[in-house]
């Protein structure tokens, strides 16, 4: 039984017996006892004094005595003003350990067909460039949040909206048309998304050179930026695309195919996937129709130049453009269309958008617009806003070609994992194929853990070498502990040792109790991470669990213990620790090597 539920129900029974009051468990306040005080669970006693007609200290003493006499799982208590600190018996922790040992999905809840459906949107790439480090954080957060929501009993649809239309796409197309010389992924040997990304960078260089030349002829910067031939050409391509021009559409489809093939490779390397992919080229018309409906119904306003706007001044915001004067859509329009299609496709209870914090205002506006258009689910959308990833040299810029490419980063991480492992000599006994697979697991584990352990709301600095350290709060350190645990269990089996449920009354040492308490709090961490949409809670819990296990492993004999009851308990605790590490890491999308 969950210890906090046990305490609350026991306190409710105590209040009824001592003071004749019926109180619901949910109204009883408990918390984990602060580290500087003896105890495991603290009960807030102040609210009960109106029933006891006694001081907080006396009331706490009454409750403590009752609980000691009537609840075997409580071994001691102490009173600090209006707080009752309760010490939970070792036998209770062992009982919870046995539950964890027996349950292969410990701490998680399986969804049923009647469970709520959450849709999580993440990735959202543009088809004019390859995925980069910023996309990696987005993908890892989105995938992990999806897995955490599943672990909390939700049905989950993982979705991606591909930004495959717009002026930025036309920029890559324009540059390829004028400089490409029929270059393809096949004849160049380049990955498709990388090839298209190169032309996006080429467009920016071409455009800047044109602007500089026009300014040299006396034009202002603002005028030069509008009159540069390349930007005029890209805008004309966008206009033709929206008119279904055959030549432009064919080029667009061809270059998008190159990019999608490249994206699929990167997603596979990262270990992320999607249940449904939407494309802006298919949703923007739906959004445009919704905006025009809103215009007809007086929700939106048309200006003299033909552009359509939403006036949000009554909501404390400003005016937002929804259709340009030439009738083309903006991102907001596309998101309205995508939202409408999603709710037609799925009975969504919760929509989660995993998008960086630079889009906070965008999603605030989107929620209001959907609500104005009559969609009751509009205000319930959740923007999971996260901070940017920066490098020691500063921010990345795609158009200038200063991004850290996702594929290059993954390859670099594998190289660092290989170098570090070779220096430590940990994998000398394995063949080359086994080594490469372990290097891959270590590299991806390092990358994912380093990113996911950080509070998502914070901007983070990424350092590949630091992330792959085999010591400290890193993925490889936790993976290595898991591998160590598997080694202990293999040796036990080789020695013919069998183990099963631990005896409740086994005598425990301090390090064992500390580890036990870390193990059994896992379900609570999973629940809390689901409420807060925070993979960081899972990541840092795994680190704390591993630290507790390593202290136990360092101080206490496992296989050399001669008392079979104690040895059995330690093996049960070792196996369960490994299982919880694996379960926790699976929620982060991280694999655990059996050997390292």
Distance linking the first and last C-alpha atoms of the chain: 36
Helix axes 535-555 and 133-151, enclosed angle (nearest 10):
80
Residue 557, C-beta contacts closer than 8 angstroms, at least 6 positions apart: none
Residues in the chain predicted with pLDDT less than 70, given as ranges, are 1, 392-403
Does the CA dihedral 553-559-561-566 come out positive or negative?
positive
CA 263, CA 406: separation in Å to the nearest integer? 10
CA dihedral 113, 118, 123, 124 (to 10 degrees): 110
CA dihedral 67, 69, 72, 77 (to 10 degrees): 50
Domains of the chain: 3-88 (3.30.1360.70), 122-390 (3.40.50.620), 406-586 (1.10.730.10)
Q: What is the chain's alpha carbon radius of gyration, rounded to the nearest angstrom?
A: 29
Q: Are 445 and 591 in contact, with CB atoms under 8 Å apart? A: yes
Q: Which residues of 274-306 are buried (b: 16+ CB within 10 A; e: fewer)?
A: beeebbbbebbebbbebbbebbeeebbeeeeee
The pLDDT score that the predictor gives to residue 502 is 95
Mean pLDDT of the chain: 93
The pLDDT score that the predictor gives to residue 398 is 43
For residue 77, the cross-strand partners are 86
Q: Are 425 and 435 in contact, with CB atoms under 8 Å apart? A: no
> pLDDT digit string (tens) for 29-71?
999 999 889 999 999 999 999 999 999 999 999 999 999 999 9
The pLDDT score that the predictor gives to residue 420 is 84
CA distances from 29 to 46, 48, 219 (A): 10, 11, 70
Query: Which DSSP letter does residue 95 get?
Result: H
Residue 456, C-beta contacts closer than 8 angstroms, at least 6 positions apart: 141, 384, 386, 387, 533, 534, 535, 536
74-80 and 30-32 strand pairing:
unpaired
Q: What is the pTM of this model?
A: 0.91
For residue 390, the cross-strand partners are 461
């Amino acid at each position: 039984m969950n210890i906090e539920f046990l305490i609350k129900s026991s306190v409710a029974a105590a209040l009824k017996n001592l003071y004749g009051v019926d109180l619901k468990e949910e109204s009883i306040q408990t918390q984990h006892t602060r580290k500087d005080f003896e105890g495991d669970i603290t009960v807030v006693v102040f609210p009960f004094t109106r029933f006891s007609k006694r001081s907080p200290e006396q009331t706490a003493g009454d409750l403590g005595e009752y609980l000691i006499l009537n609840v075997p799982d409580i071994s001691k208590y102490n009173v600090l003003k209006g707080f009752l600190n309760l010490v939970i018996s070792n036998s209770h922790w062992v009982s919870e350990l046995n539950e964890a040992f027996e349950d292969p999905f410990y701490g998680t809840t399986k969804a049923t067909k009647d469970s709520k459906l959450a849709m999580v949107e993440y990735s959202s790439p543009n088809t004019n460039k390859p995925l980069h480090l910023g996309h990696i954080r987005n993908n890892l957060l989105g995938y992990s949040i999806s897995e955490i929501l599943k672990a909390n009993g939700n049905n989950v649809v993982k979705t991606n909206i591909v930004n495959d239309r717009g002026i930025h796409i036309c920029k890559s197309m324009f540059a390829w048309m004028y400089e490409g010389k029929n270059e393809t992924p096949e004849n160049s040997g380049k990955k498709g998304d990388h090839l298209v990304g190169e032309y996006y960078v080429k467009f920016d260089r071409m455009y800047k050179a044109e602007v500089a030349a026009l300014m040299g002829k006396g034009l202002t910067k603002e005028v030069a930026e509008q009159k540069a031939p390349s930007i005029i050409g890209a805008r004309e391509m966008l206009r033709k695309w929206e008119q279904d021009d055959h030549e432009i559409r064919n080029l667009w489809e061809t270059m998008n195919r190159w990019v999608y093939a490249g994206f699929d490779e990167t997603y596979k390397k990262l270990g992320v996937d999607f249940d449904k992919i939407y494309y802006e080229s298919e949703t923007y018309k739906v959004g445009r129709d919704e905006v025009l409906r809103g215009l007809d119904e007086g929700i939106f306003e048309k200006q003299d130049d033909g552009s359509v706007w939403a006036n949000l001044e009554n909501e404390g915001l400003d005016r937002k453009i929804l259709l340009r004067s030439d009738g083309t859509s903006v991102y907001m329009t596309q998101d309205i269309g995508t939202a409408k299609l999603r709710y037609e496709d799925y009975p969504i209870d919760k929509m989660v958008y995993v998008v960086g914090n630079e889009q906070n205002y965008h999603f605030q506006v989107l929620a209001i617009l959907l609500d104005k258009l009559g969609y009751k689910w509009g205000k319930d959308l959740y923007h999971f806003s996260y901070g940017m990833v920066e490098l020691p040299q500063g921010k990345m810029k795609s158009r200038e070609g200063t991004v850290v490419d996702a594929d290059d980063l993954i390859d670099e991480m594998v190289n660092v994992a290989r170098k570090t492992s070779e220096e430590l000599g940990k994998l000398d006994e394995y063949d080359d194929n086994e080594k490469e697979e372990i290097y891959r697991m270590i590299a991806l584990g390092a990358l994912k853990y380093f990113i996911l352990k950080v509070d998502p709301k914070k901007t983070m600095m990424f350092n590949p070498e630091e992330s792959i350290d085999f010591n400290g709060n890193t993925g490889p350190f936790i993976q290595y502990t898991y591998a160590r645990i598997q080694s202990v269990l293999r040796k036990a089996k080789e020695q013919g040792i069998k183990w099963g449920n631990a005896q409740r009354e086994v005598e425990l040492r301090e390090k064992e109790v500390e580890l036990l308490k870390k193990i059994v709090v896992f379900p609570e961490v999973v629940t809390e991470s689901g409420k807060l949409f925070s993979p960081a809670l899972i990541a840092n819990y795994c680190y704390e669990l591993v630290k507790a296990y390593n202290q136990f492993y360092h101080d206490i004999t496992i296989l050399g213990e001669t008392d079979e009851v104690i040895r059995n308990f330690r093996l049960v605790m070792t196996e369960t620790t490994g299982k919880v590490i694996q379960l926790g890491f699976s929620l982060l999308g991280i694999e655990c090597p059996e050997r390292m």
